Every structure is written in structure tokens, then in C-alpha cells.
Structure 1
Amino acid sequence: MDKVEDVSRGAWLIPRMQAFGTVGGTVGSGFESYARILHPLEADREDRSAPADEFGEHPVLESAAWRWSDVAARTGATVRADVPWRTVSGRDDETELRFDDGWRVGLPEEGWFDPRHLAALTEHLTRATTTPLDLVMALWDGWGDLNGSSTLVVGWQDSATLTATERSELDEYATHAAAEHRRAQDALVASLAGPRLELPFREYLLLAVTLPELADPTWMADARVGTYLDFGHTPQLLWPEDHAWVVATEVDADSTLVAGPRGLIADVLADDRFEAFEVSAVDDLA
């Protein structure tokens, strides 16, 4: 996975970007069809008859991946193409949902398209491009672990008061750890230095990737960005060199958009591994 220095490879998207928060402003306009894939939900069924631990959590009896429609069946909401999560959950805050039968349901992930779902999507993407070995992946430049802005915090968790010796040892350790962290951050910034793709609402680091790579859901285990190996980001934008389609997972979005030919979108909508709906470029998902 190499850094793409020629950011003009993404210039074709600039005139396609419509209003912020719209489908066309996220994945680009001018395609035949569009699909919205809702991000699945992590759910656990708790044994609430058992005592809770120190964090207020009960033992977990089983775990499952839920769809938005599973939650809607309990809240009375209707899942439609442009539905926001707050309508499905019936909540304006960002807390888990807890149901009387013990199920606890988390929020849909934002800015993250599960590698397993991306791997499934590659089956359809491969058939819809002539350049499956020549793709560009765009990562948002604002992630703290990629732009050198992450902060190291050193603390002490103990009910006893620190002695003078312990305080001195902790201060010495904190100073050393902070210096090591700063050196690592400076090295990361240096390794990723270079131009960024500037779209109307975000700036992106570009990487070269292939569909066979993404077809393996464990690809992130060995992926390296510059000198940084252990990064946890899936693409914000992904497109092949022939520009046949674009996949977009906006940083603050809890769904992934696919734009491309009608056949591709029809395949995505028919794939029961996804909870997907057809949308249009002018739909507002903000």
C-alpha cells in the first residue's frame, strides 16, 4: 500500500461534488445509480439477573450483529433510504439502546466500513471495473493518529497518596514517554509529508490499493501507511482508475455510499449481506 504523490488522480471528483451532506456531495454526482449501505450494529444480550461489575456491566449471554430494521421493529420506526439513526433509535443522544429482554445495542459506526463488508462488496466492484488492480484509496487527513496530533497522557491509578520518590519516578517516566511519543509522531508526519487531495469539504491522503487486497478482510493487519503499521481506518473514498464507481464512507456518516452503473447498484441492493437502499445524488443525509 503505497502513498500516491500525484493527487491529480482525484481531481476528476472535484466538479462532481455537490452540497455538503448530500449523496452527491459525499460520493460525487453524475453516476447512473446510487446505494446507501447502513452500518450494522453490535448487540449483546445481558444476564441482568446477575450482579453487575464495577463498570455497571452484566455478564453477556450472547452477541449478534443487528440491522437498523431490527431496532425499528422494537421502536416502531420505519427504515427508509434516507432515514437518520436518531429516527430509528428514537433518541437524540449517543447512548446505547437497552431493551427489557436484556439486549443492549450499540450505535452504528461512523467513518468506518467494516472490512468484512468491504470484502463482500469487492465481489460486485470487481465485475464493474476494467482496472481492479489499480485503485485509489483516500483517507481523511484529520485522523489524529495519521497527522501527528495524537496526545500521550500518563496517569496514576491508586487510592494511596504518592510518595515523593514515586512522584519523581512517575514524572521521569512521563517525560521519557512523552519524548518518545513526540519522536514517533514527528517521524510519522515526515513519512506522510506531501500533497493532499483537496475536495470541497475535506482533505485526503491518497494510497494505492487493489481489489484483491481488500477482498481479504484481514488486510488491515499488514497495511502500512508511511512508517505507520497499526492503523485502523477503512477508506473514506475508493475508486478505480477507470472511474467506473466510487465507494464513500464519510467521516461523520453511519452508512456507506456506492455510486456507479445500474448493474452494480442492482447487485448491491440484491445482496442480503447488506442492509441497503437505493438513493439519489440529491438526497440529503446530513
Structure 2
Amino acid sequence: MSSHLRPVEHVDDWIAPRFGDVTGRVGSTVPHGFAAYARILHPLEDAEDEPATWSDVAAFTGSHEHALMQFGAISRSPEWPGTEPEEGNLSPDRLERLCDVLDRHTPAEAECFFALWEGYGWVHGSPGVVIMGSDEVVPPAFPPEVLNGPRLRHWGGRDYLVFRGGLRAASEMGWHRDEWFSPQSPNLFWPADRSWCVATEIDFDSTLVAGTAELVADVLAHQGLEAWSVGPEDSLTVDGDHLNR
């Protein structure tokens, strides 16, 4: 576990009451009650292994770009020859860029809270995870005081381990081994003053940012983040893309 991420002794239940009750909507993934919301599309690569965007995919297939577009709809599989965006994990470079924006809207030295889904196999170790080519018994990623600690309950029944630390500790979450590090962006994170909240749902290929109008405007304006303005009632399900059928 990163030395900059520390377990919490208590989890304030402020998020769950602010979730909507319709699966797949923005407001059932990140809390209601914020002034503005943005959807950051996860990156991918083209057939030459070069960085690509959803805009590139839409241009290639002749699909319609819009805030609620679904990758499966715009890629016209198998027409798009490149990769698919990763589900449930915002890439380290995009996470760093997002934290650059969040930093400008977060008090200096502010403590932040980071939630990690407890269902990742590597969290608990063997037999939930194996290392290819090895018969090693994989130990849990966290000590007992973390695994037995308080949980955050997300709408839909998922439970999350919660850690605290500075904003930049977001990039240190993941599976730490002596030989390597497999990053996992926080599934939820927010500052102590709850002025914003970021959510990366494990089944979504985009990350949601909720906060002030000024914060979201900065996210939307960042050239290194492919982001769109959304609202809490918008659907991010496959059926939510009404323009690409």
C-alpha cells in the first residue's frame, strides 16, 4: 500500500443519500446536488498503437459525436480497427491531468478521501487472483486493519475500502508489488469539504466529475481530457445513445 494513502477509522455516509435510484444514470454513479457535471471519455489506441480519441473513432465510422455516445455504438464493431477504452480505470496520464485541474479548485494541503471497490481480486490475494506463469500464493494487497475496516456502501450494493491522503495520492492507488505496480484509479474520490466528487464506475468506460460550474468548465476546456457536459439524469447505458443505433 502506498505510504501516502492511509486507512480511515470512520466513513461518513454523505454520498449514498445523494445517489439517484435508476441504474446507469450519471446521478446514480456520482452524487446529486452539484452545480455541474462532466463525463471524461477513457482513451484508446488506433490500429498503429497510437493514442486515439472517441472523436477519432466517430470520424472514422461516420458516427455522431455527443455527450452520451456509447463506444459500442460509435465503433460499429468490427469496423474500428483500434483498441477499446478501458472500463473501470482512468489511465494514469488522464488521472494526472484531471488532478491538475482539481488542484486549482481544492484548498492547499486539503485532505481527500479515496474509495476502492473491495471486489478486485488482487485486493484479497489468492485464490481471487493469480500471476501468470507462477504458482505463487498471492498475499492480500492490504493489511488486516484495512481489509477489516469500515466500508462505503455505493448505491447498487457495492462496498468500497476508503483511504485518505493528499490529492496527488490518487495516482498511487493500485496493486503494489516489489517488482511492479498496476495502477487503479479510485472508484470514487472527493476532498474533505465535499466541493467536488469524481467517480469511475467499474463497468463504465468513462469517468464522471461533479463540482462547481467553474471546476467543470475547466475540465471541459482541458485539451488533454476528452470531456463532455452531462446532467445527473442522463443515462450512460447502451440505450442512452439515441443518435447512434
| Counterpart for residue 33 of structure 1 | 36
| Counterpart for residue 167 of structure 2 | 211
Give 2:208's aligned amino acid: L
Of 26, 42, 46, the match for 1:43: 46
Secondary structure of the corresponding residue to residue 119 of structure 1: helix
| Counterpart for residue 101 of structure 2 | 124
**Do 1:96 and 1:106's aligned partners in 2 also have CA atoms closer than 8 Å?**
no
Secondary structure of the corresponding residue to residue 208 of structure 2: strand
Are the structure 2 counterparts of residues 139 and 34 from structure 1 closer, same or farther at C-alpha, using a change threshold of 3 Å?
same
Of 66, 73, 83, the match for 1:87: 73
Are the structure 2 counterparts of residues 230 and 150 from structure 1 closer, same or farther at C-alpha, using a change threshold of 3 Å?
farther
Distance in 2 of aligned mates of 1:246 and 1:125: 10
Are the structure 2 counterparts of residues 189 and 23 from structure 1 closer, same or farther at C-alpha, using a change threshold of 3 Å?
same
Distance in 2 of aligned mates of 1:151 and 1:116: 26
Matched ranges for 1:1-286 at <5 A: 1-8=5-12, 11-18=13-20, 19-45=22-48, 63-91=49-77, 97-98=80-81, 105-130=82-107, 132-148=109-125, 149-152=127-130, 177=135, 181=137, 184-185=139-140, 188=142, 190-191=144-145, 192-201=147-156, 202-214=158-170, 219=172, 230-286=181-237
Secondary structure of the corresponding residue to residue 123 of structure 2: helix
Unaligned 5+ segments in structure 2 are 238-245
Are the structure 2 counterparts of residues 203 and 70 from structure 1 closer, same or farther at C-alpha, using a change threshold of 3 Å?
same
Give 1:194's aligned amino acid: G
Are the structure 2 counterparts of residues 64 and 203 from structure 1 closer, same or farther at C-alpha, using a change threshold of 3 Å?
same
Give 2:122's aligned amino acid: D
Aligned residues: 228
Q: How far is the alpha carbon of 1:139 from its aligned partner?
A: 0.6
Give 1:190's aligned amino acid: P
Aligned-pair identity in percent equals 40
Distance in 1 of aligned mates of 2:185 and 2:132: 29
Distance in 1 of aligned mates of 2:132 and 2:188: 35
Distance in 1 of aligned mates of 2:205 and 2:119: 18
Unaligned 5+ segments in structure 1 are 46-62, 99-104, 156-173
1:113-143 residue CA offsets vs partner (Å, 9 max, x unmatched): 1121111112221222236530001011110
Larger Rg: 1
1:153-205 residue CA offsets vs partner (Å, 9 max, x unmatched): 888xxxxxxxxxxxxxxxxxx9xx4xx516x24x8573522221112222101
